[in-house]
Homo-oligomer: A and B are copies of this chain.
Amino acid sequence: MSRCLLSLAAALGAAGPAAAAPKNVVLLVADDLGLQLGCYGDPVAKTPNLDALAKSGTRFTHAFASVASCSASRGTILTGLPTHACGQYGHAHAEHNFHSFRTVKGLPALLAPAGYRSGVVAKLHVQPREVYPFDVEVQDNGRDPVRVAAEVKKFVADSGDKPFFLLVGFTDPHRAAKGFANDAKYPPEVPAVTFDPKTVPVPYHLPDQPEVREELAEFYQSLARLDDGVGRVLKVLDEAKKADDTLVVFLSDNGIPFPGAKTTLYDAGVRLPLIVRKPGQKAGVVSAAMASWTDVVPTVLDWCGVKPEAVGKGKKAVPLPGRSVLPVLEAEKADGWDVVYGSHQFHEVTMYYPMRMVRTRGYKYVLNLAHPLEFPHASDLWGSPTWQGVLKRGDKLMGSREVKAYLHRPKEELYDLAADPNELKNLAGDPAHAEALDGLRAKLAAWRERTNDPWLIKDKHE
Tell me the A residues contacting B by CB distance below 8 Å.
84, 87, 89, 95, 97-99, 101, 128, 349-350, 352, 354, 370, 372-374, 377, 379, 382-383, 454-455, 457, 459-460
A99 contacts B97, CB within 8 Å?
yes
User: Could you write out 28 A-B pairs with CB less than 8 Å apart?
Assistant: A84-B95, A87-B95, A87-B97, A89-B349, A95-B101, A95-B454, A97-B98, A97-B99, A97-B101, A99-B99, A128-B128, A349-B454, A350-B354, A350-B454, A350-B455, A350-B457, A352-B352, A352-B370, A370-B373, A372-B372, A372-B373, A372-B374, A373-B373, A377-B460, A379-B457, A382-B459, A382-B460, A383-B459
Determine the residue in chain B with the shortest Cβ distance to A353: B352
Closest chain B CB from A83 CB (angstroms): 11
Chain B contacts for A454, CB-based, 8 A: 95, 349-350
Chain B contacts for A98, CB-based, 8 A: 97
Closest chain B CB from A23 CB (angstroms): 34
A455 CA / B350 CA spacing, docked (Å): 6
- Interface class of chain A by DSSP: loop
Determine the residue in chain B with the shortest Cβ distance to A383: B459
Closest chain B CB from A348 CB (angstroms): 8
A97 CA / B455 CA spacing, docked (Å): 14
Closest chain B CB from A392 CB (angstroms): 13
A95 CA / B455 CA spacing, docked (Å): 10
Determine the residue in chain B with the shortest Cβ distance to A370: B373
Chain B contacts for A97, CB-based, 8 A: 87, 98-99, 101
Closest chain B CB from A25 CB (angstroms): 28
Chain B contacts for A382, CB-based, 8 A: 459-460
Closest chain B CB from A407 CB (angstroms): 11
A370 CA / B99 CA spacing, docked (Å): 23
By Cβ-Cβ distance, the 7 closest A-B pairs, closest first, are A372-B372, A352-B352, A95-B454, A87-B97, A350-B455, A372-B373, A99-B99
A459 CA / B382 CA spacing, docked (Å): 9
Determine the residue in chain B with the shortest Cβ distance to A348: B454
Interface-central residue, A97, A128, A382, A455, by most chain B CB under 10 Å: A97
Chain B contacts for A95, CB-based, 8 A: 84, 87, 101, 454
Q: A128-B128, A350-B457, A377-B460 are in contact. List 6 more A-B contacts (CB 8 A).
A: A97-B98, A97-B99, A349-B454, A352-B352, A370-B373, A383-B459
Closest chain B CB from A82 CB (angstroms): 13
Closest chain B CB from A89 CB (angstroms): 7
A98 CA / B95 CA spacing, docked (Å): 11
Chain B contacts for A89, CB-based, 8 A: 349
A89 CA / B99 CA spacing, docked (Å): 13
Chain B contacts for A373, CB-based, 8 A: 370, 372-373
Chain B contacts for A455, CB-based, 8 A: 350
Closest chain B CB from A133 CB (angstroms): 16
Closest chain B CB from A153 CB (angstroms): 32
Closest chain B CB from A404 CB (angstroms): 15
Chain B contacts for A84, CB-based, 8 A: 95
Chain B contacts for A128, CB-based, 8 A: 128
A383 CA / B460 CA spacing, docked (Å): 10
Chain B contacts for A459, CB-based, 8 A: 382-383
Closest chain B CB from A147 CB (angstroms): 27
Determine the residue in chain B with the shortest Cβ distance to A101: B97
Chain B contacts for A457, CB-based, 8 A: 350, 379
Closest chain B CB from A323 CB (angstroms): 25
Chain B contacts for A377, CB-based, 8 A: 460
Chain B contacts for A383, CB-based, 8 A: 459
Closest chain B CB from A261 CB (angstroms): 20
Determine the residue in chain B with the shortest Cβ distance to A84: B95
A379 CA / B377 CA spacing, docked (Å): 30
Determine the residue in chain B with the shortest Cβ distance to A454: B95
A239 CA / B128 CA spacing, docked (Å): 44
Closest chain B CB from A93 CB (angstroms): 11
